[in-house]
Structure 1
Amino acid sequence: MKLPAIAIKNRRFTLVLLLLLIMLGVVSVQNMPRSEDPQFEFPATMIRVVYPGTNTMDMEKLIVDPIEEAINELDDIKVLKSNIEDGLAVINVEFLYGSDSQEKYDDVVSSVSRIRDDLPEDIAVLDMDRISPVDVNIIQIALMSDTQGYGVLKPLAEKLEKTLERIAGVKRANVEAFAEQQLQVKADLEKMRELGIGIEDLIQSIQVSGANLPGGHVLSGNRRFTVQTSGDFSSIEDLKRTAVHSSPGKVIYVEDVANVELADALPSYQARYEGVKSVFVTVVQREGSNIFQVMDNIKSEISKLEARLPDGVTLDITHDQTESVEDRISQFFDSLVQGLILVGILTLIFLGFRPALVIIFAIPLSFYIGIGWLDIAGFGIQQMSIAGLVIALGLLVDNAIVVTENVDRFLRKGLPPAEAAAKGASQVGWAVISGTMTTILAFVPILMLQTGAGVFLRSMPVTVILTLLASLLIALTLSPLLASYLLKKRKQEPPFMQKQVFKFASGHYKKLLTYSLNHPYLVLLIAILILVGSVGLAGKLGVSMFPKAEKPMIMVNIELPEGASFNQTQAIAEQAEAAVRQHELVRSVATNIGKGNPRIYYNIFPSRQVPNYAQLVVRLSTGKLSIVEPFVAELRETFADIPGARITIKELLQGPPYEAPIAIRVVGDDPDKVLLASRDVEKFITSTPGTVNVDNPLDKPKVDLKVTINRAKAAMYAVPVNAIDQAVRASLVGLTVSDFRDENGEDYPIVVKYQGADRPRIEDFDAMMVKSTSGSLIPLKQLIKLELHSALPRFQHHMTERMVRITADIEGSYQAEALTNEIVDKLEQYDWPEGVFYQVGGEQEQRKESFNGMAKVLLIALLGIFAILVLQFNSFTQPIVIFAAIPFAVTGMILGLWVAGFTFSFTAFIGLTSLVGIVVNNSIILVDYANQLRKDGHDIREAVMLSAQTRMLPILLTTMTTIGGLLPLTLSGSSMWSPMGSTIIGGLLVSTLLTLIVVPVLYQLLSSKHT
């Protein structure tokens, strides 16, 4: 290994090169994208089809089946699922992770376009959008007023929207939660009946007068002139003075039979913030930008607008993601700094001031170089990458420790500092490289994992790998260079703790090792019993996927029965809002009526827009589960006393998006059989302690008011059928007949509607009239029959099969795996209707997919590590000796999780994977030195005894520095990262203790035939 000698010989070049890399890291730290969670691509597309007036069965036959059939022919589909209801179908297609999201989106668009002619021509909406977890609103602004209407709030919001979209780093801004402004023509049906004017007369007169047809052009000599006709309405007065009916000496105008005014449309989505009517403006950050820089510019523009707001209008920020990003990043950096201090103290105590200085100096430099490379790789600073830095903290000092110790040994032999540094670093160079490679290979499984969890966590292993490579570069260049300057040539008294380790190694440990080598099979039997016992304990740990997010926010979802009015939903939402705001823990409440809140968390998407749904976003003063969960339990009891609505509380979860922690799919072709089975499944889930928010979308009775036209009677009275439909629509909710543009260029639809109550009522049918072709007005009720009609509200598809998905959340500290298994036991005993069966979804499906994928790539990594060891030791038996540390790492992991009270989660699995590379290094140190001693003439027993005693210090020191680096993060109480820290710390402690006994025993047994 010539690199250390070259680095020392060319000192200036080495320092300049490292300085440039460090400056790259410093610049990257300042400018790297910052976010709360990883920004990753999600290869999925959503197709939304709106076809008004179509029932669920027709939507399936005419829309969903053809589209699914076309999409199902594409490659790499992971799941294809659809939600079908009256007039609306939402089809989601997810592709295998690793697929190009843009390419797959293009494939979906192409497939749907190919069959567009086979779909109904009069589809109102056919949208296709990519589903991206990156498109989360980083800020939500409320423009509020109790005195001003939407006619004032909306223009203000739109002006702010356009201003914010011009800011660098802003991808888009949206305005939400406002009522559309309409120019309403409210017909007085009583007066119209007296004058013999039908609603269709009013509609036709406005349509004809408001038509804007180009007049063409004329020539005058050599000049060409465009002819402008009267065009559309230039003012509201023009509309009022439009003739509806004329006779000799008498003209009836619109204003004679209707009131004309600019007013709000029927509400479909309204919002309140802190109890005040609001319009929301939201902003999505452009990928790759720095959230703090973007937010500073946004707040600057908000301040300018705030100073110019009209009377009665106020502005507030309902959601600011920089708060949680800053909090999350600061927590991780605090853990990082605390870990750095602990590592520094440990190296100082065991190695002394000057060697510790060389080692400690390598830590920040490795971090800066690693962060620079991370920026080049396209990753930003967020919880996953910072967690990678924390994990790397304890690992990267290993290389510096090995190099510095060896340089110090050559100095004690009397070599000049430069020569000692060159020879010392060169001698261990390949050993340091192979040790780093084995550690890196342990993180490759996470990097290779092509699942939602793998993509979510990807920046963490990338950060560890790049930081370890940076530490390797520092260890082989800068560390020997610094050692040649800082380490003294003369012999020094070793530090006190180092002497204590040497004393223990030559005393009690030597006796224990001698006894173990004399009774190898007894030692192995005890080790195996410990391993078996820990495996038995593993069954009591429980299994989980990702924990709750510990964000200071909850969502309250309110769902009224199908057919409930917007006003009813609004009343219940205000009642729930009042109940929530009584608690001191609550900072603010944003209330959304008719739709879910704009998207402010990466794995939660807004719900469909329906009048019987509302959502409250409740910001809290803390996200600690020990405080939030009792508060949530209290709220559930409060909401249980509110009649007429299903009110559920949603706590935010970490990890990739999935339906719910518990999800059971009831599959079958017969909707009636599926409905019956789903009701029983719902009972099974509800009766299982620990489940909350149980939802069965199929078991929500829907009753429609069906208007049946007596066609024979209509023909007898000479009334066209379409005139009846037109009269019903216009009288109830209004019929758009033309457009009006004001002097500011704003367009408003002209809507003809009944001048009755603000909300349509069934009594309105009594006043409806329709005109026959002869000019007579006929009461509508003479031509129709009103019937209550029960209808299937909605159902779903999964991989083109009919099904319904029953979901549930988890209460408190219950585990999804245990609850799902308990439910599955009940389902197995259930007498399923013919043709109906169940499938398990939710967290269990996600976990099995992720864990199975993790197991495969972990096996590949183990084979890679084994291959490196075979090449290094030129033996097949010695790698087996080294691998003996891995089962004991598993023992330590189980004990660590059990003592800390954690389940075996996905992050614990990450910790186990990390352990593989770490514990193998300890065994490599011991076996490698034993082999050197045997080459010097020692027999197997002497070699392994001396090696174990001599290498005790570096083994203990590397173990302690790794534990020290992870200890602050582990003790932070994070439900996400504490299990990983407990896994690594427990595994390291147990495997290190057993490695110092079991590995020498195995070396002696398996090396008896090794030459």
Structure 2
Amino acid sequence: AQNLSIPAGEIQTEFGKIGIKAPSALENTKQIEELIVYGSADTGALVRLKDVANVAFEYDKSAQTFKHGDAPAVLLTVYFNQNQNVILIGDDVRASIDRVNKGLPDKLRVHEVLYQPEEVNDSIAGFIVSLLQGIGFVILVVLIGMGIRNALVVSLAIPLSITATLIAMSVIGIDIQQMSIAALIIALGMLVDNSIVISDAVQMKINEGIDIKTACYEGTVEQSIPVLTSTLTTVMAFAPLMVLPGEAGEFAKSLPQVVIIALVASYLVAMFVTPAFASFLFKNTHKPDQKKNRIRHFFEFMLKGAMKMPVMSLAFILIIIGATGYGVLFLKINLFPYADKDLVYIDIYSEKSGDIIYTEKLADELRRMLKDEPEIKAIDTSIGGGFPKFYLTVGVRPPSNDYAQLLMHIDLSESGRFVKREEFAYYLQSKIDTALAGGSATVNLIEINQPGPAVDIKVSGKYREDVNRVARDLYNYLLTDESTINVTNDIADYVYQYKLNVDPDKAMTLGLTNYDVQFQTSLAVNGMTSTVLQKDGNQYDIVVKGDIHSIKDVENLQIKSSITDNKVLMKQFATVTLEKELGSIKRHNRSASVSISSNVRPGFAATDLQNYVENTLLPSLDLEGVEIAFGGDQEMFDKYISGLLGAAAFAVAIIYIILLIQFNSLMQPLIILATVPLSVVGSVLILLILNMEVTFTVGLGVASLIGIVVNNAILLIEYINRERKLEHSVYDACINSVEKRFRPIMLSTTTTVIGLVPLALSNSSFFTPMAVALMGGLMVSTLLTLIVIPLIYYVGHRYE
């Protein structure tokens, strides 16, 4: 009541209204000390707060604090509004930081823990360079394959399609970021595919002696349906990828969106712009004595040989596909590799619960242990909680007095001791495990997906004894296995607590209620914010707290009865005992539950460890009364692979319907879809040769291949059907299809593959595996398609 500030109003005078200023609220500690807490009705004597309590202005010892290196620090976090250019705003912020730094004393400096605008600028600049390199590679390939006039017309598809795509992205709200630029790089080679097909058809007409304008019209009309079908099939392959589940699906969502927009734009350019410019620039290039291309001749020779022994040839193809299926078993799976961030963060857990001073000492000890590592450029520390969100997939840790977090910038090139971040993280973890006492610490790298253990085993059952027994067996095994690191379990431990044993009869006799005991004990031990102090425009909590330092002080605490106003010592109606109880009780589906988790060391696969646990270790244990469930990478694998398989199945079904409509045949769409397993052959083969891991993006690449590789088969089947309408035999039609469609097929594939080269060489954990899988699938599928598709068609139609 003595810390109020109520407007007293105004008095109307002959000079106007004059305000009345009442005594203000508390503004300093002196005023708090002078507060009256008691007045004697008999003598009039006053008891002020300073007579019975110490008043001090001090830091909240339980508050979260930060350090930069060894020095105390204040952390300022800035977030950008949506739809803002972080790079431009970042330049303004950087200028402000530099200006403030110049005016600060020598010992006071502003340091950047994280600076997103710089990271975004570097990342986008790198991707734009890759995009420009890809454009240059594609134009070069087109120039070599088609000549300068034709290449100029075809290459127009690239800037026009990219410009249209950027406009569409702006309209529908897709930002320019890593994923959207990567999508443009992936689509880059495909942007010219439709134009290549149209220009090749026009050139063939011109070479046949048809005048240029008629050739442009007839060539475009002739290929309009195959080009539309090819575009639709590719679009349908990417469309299901927009609805993949989880954080990674949301992260990758813009990739299929941008690719689809670019493909639609390239189709429109191919249908309207390419023939228009061809009518001005194309000319007859036919040479009567022109020699047959040696590579084309080789494929014709191979096709003729296969058609002489069709059954044996098809059996050989099936053996290749079967061998690929067997090769899949040898692929290393790492669904979500670590992000390309030179950041390492360490979670620190103190053994002393609720003691933030001890937690700070533990964090200081760990920082001193690591500061001489040459790879570590800077260390920032958060004590009593985690840092604010510093990456999309890293969660924010709530405040806790027994938790601290270290955030470190690293540069592996400083020493040359480590090639991969995983190796450095394992080195740090091993060093910490052997040297840190009084708590535990876990070294973490930034992950693309929501972070979690590689292997997570959940044991649940009706009886806690059975659950704990099996959990300890699993924990002890993982602890001794050479492939594991950071093995933990959440078996509930017993914790000690003081228990107030209140005698209800004595308490009621003394006029004490449960509320009296609980509230006043909490007030004495924990304290309570009673009001605030207004000072220099800031508000500071005024906390009332008892002078409790030991359990004896609790026993001698006087509890005031809300009924009689009398004070009674705690020990007159209660006893205090030290008892143990479970610190926490975890349940899964209403059953007692324990989780055992582990990460794997570099060079080992989580899938191998889990397969051993599931197929070898668990059958050897007594599992009566318990149930086992797996999480970790296996849960993520099941979640995302099922999503990718569902997307692929949906894409195949839609593509089949599109092909069914175009070719009016049940069999020919199946022949075209035979290219899908051929693409998988290439992807698996190149991953095995390069010893690369299967990641989530590899799945994206393989799923999107479905719509890309069928385009070559569409061109072949469409030409074969057209030849047969001209009364050519099935044999001749199949041979001629390779001869006439060789150049557009090879050129389209080469441009797509070459366009992916910068992405494959970017050394990105997210994009490089996807680009490599796409390149391998496209190359092998194209080479096999030129033989397999005409061969299957010949086998199915040779007796017609």
Task: Report the TM-score when normalising by structure 1.
Answer: 0.72
Question: In structure 2, what is the equivalent of residue 239 of structure 1?
Answer: 32
Match among 254, 260, 264 for residue 459 of structure 1: 254
By how many angstroms is 1:518 displaced?
A: 1.0
Mapped contact 1:720–1:772 kept (Cα < 8 A): no
User: How big is the alpha-carbon RMSD for the aligned residues of Structure 1 and Structure 2?
Assistant: 3.4
Question: In structure 2, what is the equivalent of residue 651 of structure 1?
Answer: 445
Question: In structure 1, what is the equivalent of residue 622 of structure 2?
Answer: 831
Mapped contact 2:189–2:755 kept (Cα < 8 A): yes
Cα deviation, 1:687-709, whole Å, max 9, x if unaligned, reads 44433223323444432233444
Mapped contact 1:682–1:806 kept (Cα < 8 A): yes
In structure 2, relative to structure 1, the CA distance for the partners of 1:504 and 1:729 (3 Å cut) is closer
Mapped contact 1:959–1:988 kept (Cα < 8 A): yes
Question: In structure 2, what is the equivalent of residue 642 of structure 1?
Answer: 436
Distance between the aligned counterparts of 1:723 and 1:433, measured in 2?
A: 81
Distance between the aligned counterparts of 2:412 and 2:78, measured in 1?
A: 24
Match among 762, 770, 777 for residue 550 of structure 2: 762
Distance between the aligned counterparts of 1:561 and 1:610, measured in 2?
A: 13
Question: In structure 2, what is the equivalent of residue 697 of structure 1?
Answer: 490
- Residue aligned with 1:600, SS: coil
Distance between the aligned counterparts of 1:442 and 1:636, measured in 2?
A: 43
Q: 1:374 is matched by which residue type in structure 2?
A: M
In structure 2, relative to structure 1, the CA distance for the partners of 1:888 and 1:260 (3 Å cut) is same
In structure 2, relative to structure 1, the CA distance for the partners of 1:679 and 1:702 (3 Å cut) is farther
Distance between the aligned counterparts of 1:867 and 1:594, measured in 2?
A: 59
Match among 594, 603, 618 for residue 384 of structure 2: 594
- Residue correspondence of structure 1 range 70-85 to structure 2 within 5 A: none
- Residue aligned with 1:794, SS: coil
Question: In structure 2, what is the equivalent of residue 340 of structure 1?
Answer: 135
By how many angstroms is 1:782 displaced?
A: 6.4
Residue 631 (str. 1) matches residue 419 (str. 2): no
Mapped contact 2:359–2:401 kept (Cα < 8 A): yes
Match among 535, 543, 553 for residue 343 of structure 2: 553
In structure 2, relative to structure 1, the CA distance for the partners of 1:399 and 1:263 (3 Å cut) is same
Residue 735 (str. 1) matches residue 528 (str. 2): yes
Distance between the aligned counterparts of 2:470 and 2:266, measured in 1?
A: 59
Cα deviation, 1:613-669, whole Å, max 9, x if unaligned, reads 1111111236998342232122112211111211111112113x2643322223345
In structure 2, relative to structure 1, the CA distance for the partners of 1:544 and 1:948 (3 Å cut) is same
Distance between the aligned counterparts of 1:218 and 1:673, measured in 2?
A: 80
In structure 2, relative to structure 1, the CA distance for the partners of 1:226 and 1:663 (3 Å cut) is farther
Distance between the aligned counterparts of 2:329 and 2:286, measured in 1?
A: 52
- Residue aligned with 1:477, SS: helix
Mapped contact 1:451–1:853 kept (Cα < 8 A): no
Mapped contact 2:236–2:707 kept (Cα < 8 A): yes
In structure 2, relative to structure 1, the CA distance for the partners of 1:966 and 1:922 (3 Å cut) is same
Mapped contact 2:87–2:118 kept (Cα < 8 A): no
Question: In structure 2, what is the equivalent of residue 906 of structure 1?
Answer: 696
Distance between the aligned counterparts of 2:37 and 2:106, measured in 1?
A: 40
Distance between the aligned counterparts of 1:660 and 1:997, measured in 2?
A: 46
Q: 2:237 is matched by which residue type in structure 1?
A: A
Cα deviation, 1:207-246, whole Å, max 9, x if unaligned, reads x6447789999999xx999999767535432322234456
Q: 2:381 is matched by which residue type in structure 1?
A: T
Question: In structure 2, what is the equivalent of residue 264 of structure 1?
Answer: 59
- Residue aligned with 1:705, SS: strand
Match among 546, 549, 570 for residue 360 of structure 2: 570
**Structure 1 regions of 5+ residues with no counterpart?**
1-207
- Residue correspondence of structure 1 range 161-172 to structure 2 within 5 A: none
Q: 1:328 is matched by which residue type in structure 2?
A: S
In structure 2, relative to structure 1, the CA distance for the partners of 1:452 and 1:312 (3 Å cut) is closer
Distance between the aligned counterparts of 1:678 and 1:228, measured in 2?
A: 70
Distance between the aligned counterparts of 2:785 and 2:719, measured in 1?
A: 15
By how many angstroms is 1:449 displaced?
A: 3.2
Q: 2:143 is matched by which residue type in structure 1?
A: L
Match among 565, 584, 591 for residue 374 of structure 2: 584
Match among 535, 543, 548 for residue 751 of structure 1: 543
The number of residues matched between the two structures is 789
By how many angstroms is 1:391 displaced?
A: 1.4
By how many angstroms is 1:789 displaced?
A: 2.6
Question: In structure 2, what is the equivalent of residue 287 of structure 1?
Answer: 82
Distance between the aligned counterparts of 2:3 and 2:463, measured in 1?
A: 51
Distance between the aligned counterparts of 1:622 and 1:1002, measured in 2?
A: 53
Mapped contact 1:332–1:387 kept (Cα < 8 A): yes
By how many angstroms is 1:249 displaced?
A: 8.6
In structure 2, relative to structure 1, the CA distance for the partners of 1:429 and 1:819 (3 Å cut) is same
By how many angstroms is 1:802 displaced?
A: 5.5
Question: In structure 2, what is the equivalent of residue 817 of structure 1?
Answer: 607
In structure 2, relative to structure 1, the CA distance for the partners of 1:702 and 1:271 (3 Å cut) is farther
- Residue aligned with 1:751, SS: strand
Cα deviation, 1:339-394, whole Å, max 9, x if unaligned, reads 22222222111211111122222112211211221222221122222221121112
Distance between the aligned counterparts of 1:500 and 1:986, measured in 2?
A: 30
Distance between the aligned counterparts of 1:390 and 1:838, measured in 2?
A: 44
Distance between the aligned counterparts of 1:726 and 1:882, measured in 2?
A: 78
Mapped contact 2:237–2:707 kept (Cα < 8 A): yes
In structure 2, relative to structure 1, the CA distance for the partners of 1:240 and 1:1007 (3 Å cut) is same
Match among 159, 169, 177 for residue 364 of structure 1: 159
Residue 1001 (str. 1) matches residue 796 (str. 2): no
Q: 1:950 is matched by which residue type in structure 2?
A: K
Identity of aligned residues (%): 29
Cα deviation, 1:183-214, whole Å, max 9, x if unaligned, reads xxxxxxxxxxxxxxxxxxxxxxxxx6447789
Mapped contact 1:211–1:738 kept (Cα < 8 A): no
- Residue correspondence of structure 1 range 112-127 to structure 2 within 5 A: none
In structure 2, relative to structure 1, the CA distance for the partners of 1:233 and 1:1006 (3 Å cut) is same
Mapped contact 1:688–1:823 kept (Cα < 8 A): no
By how many angstroms is 1:936 displaced?
A: 2.1
In structure 2, relative to structure 1, the CA distance for the partners of 1:500 and 1:548 (3 Å cut) is farther
Match among 951, 962, 965 for residue 755 of structure 2: 965
Q: 1:667 is matched by which residue type in structure 2?
A: S
Cα deviation, 1:657-682, whole Å, max 9, x if unaligned, reads 26433222233455555444433343
Residue 516 (str. 1) matches residue 306 (str. 2): yes
Mapped contact 1:723–1:770 kept (Cα < 8 A): no
In structure 2, relative to structure 1, the CA distance for the partners of 1:767 and 1:998 (3 Å cut) is closer
Distance between the aligned counterparts of 2:136 and 2:585, measured in 1?
A: 58
Q: 1:269 is matched by which residue type in structure 2?
A: Q
Mapped contact 1:562–1:701 kept (Cα < 8 A): no
Distance between the aligned counterparts of 1:833 and 1:861, measured in 2?
A: 44
Residue 503 (str. 1) matches residue 294 (str. 2): yes
Mapped contact 1:703–1:791 kept (Cα < 8 A): yes
Mapped contact 2:245–2:639 kept (Cα < 8 A): no
Question: In structure 2, what is the equivalent of residue 860 of structure 1?
Answer: 650
Q: 2:739 is matched by which residue type in structure 1?
A: Q
Distance between the aligned counterparts of 2:78 and 2:654, measured in 1?
A: 46
In structure 2, relative to structure 1, the CA distance for the partners of 1:722 and 1:217 (3 Å cut) is farther
Question: In structure 2, what is the equivalent of residue 978 of structure 1?
Answer: 768
- Residue aligned with 1:543, SS: coil
Mapped contact 2:352–2:358 kept (Cα < 8 A): no
Residue 686 (str. 1) matches residue 461 (str. 2): no
Task: Report the TM-score when normalising by structure 2.
Answer: 0.90
- Residue aligned with 1:934, SS: helix
In structure 2, relative to structure 1, the CA distance for the partners of 1:378 and 1:622 (3 Å cut) is farther
Distance between the aligned counterparts of 1:364 and 1:690, measured in 2?
A: 50
Distance between the aligned counterparts of 2:291 and 2:372, measured in 1?
A: 61
- Residue aligned with 2:736, SS: helix
Mapped contact 2:205–2:219 kept (Cα < 8 A): yes
- Residue correspondence of structure 1 range 893-972 to structure 2 within 5 A: 893-972=683-762
Cα deviation, 1:425-459, whole Å, max 9, x if unaligned, reads 23222221111111112212212434544333211
Distance between the aligned counterparts of 2:334 and 2:559, measured in 1?
A: 67
Q: 2:621 is matched by which residue type in structure 1?
A: Y
Residue 381 (str. 1) matches residue 176 (str. 2): yes
In structure 2, relative to structure 1, the CA distance for the partners of 1:985 and 1:720 (3 Å cut) is closer
